[in-house]
Amino acid sequence: MRNRALGNLALGILVIVGSGCFFNSCQTTAKGVVMNYGKPLENAEVSFGPTLGEVKAFTDKDGKFELTAWHRPTAMLYVTVKKKGYAQREKIEFPGFASPGEEIRVEMLETIGYSDK
């Protein structure tokens, strides 16, 4: 009986501690540059954050972006770039508690057969 009471107490403590961390919001800023074969890609739409909670902005003339998103510490964060005639080379994702400390570099590739003329 005593072991069961201790087990319930331990479980209760885990739930309280875990829920405090789970529901708290964190703020993460992603800074980076969008490139196409070594050249900056201007006016590309960058999305950053967790699914259904991302923020968006467009790259400047130097291909740079900076976005800040709110999320749970356990959420997966994504950087997605879109621009007509281009495709993102690789998926960029990381957990909210381990955001990159350096600039994110996103490489875009031109799609075959696209022409904006």
Instruction: Return per-residue pLDDT of the chain as tens, 117 residues.
Output: 555 555 555 554 444 444 344 557 899 999 999 999 999 999 999 999 998 889 999 999 999 999 999 999 999 999 999 999 999 999 999 998 887 889 999 999 999 876 665
CATH code of domain 25-110? 2.60.40.1120
Cβ atoms within 10 A of the Cβ of 44, count? 22
Is the whole-model pTM more than 0.85?
Answer: no
- Distance, in Å, from the CA atom of 79 to the CA atom of 36, rounded to the nearest integer, reads 16
Domain boundaries defined on the chain: 25-110
Bridge partners of 47, per DSSP, are: 56, 80
Rg of the chain taking only CA atoms, in angstroms: 20
- Distance, in Å, from the CA atom of 20 to the CA atom of 63, rounded to the nearest integer, reads 38
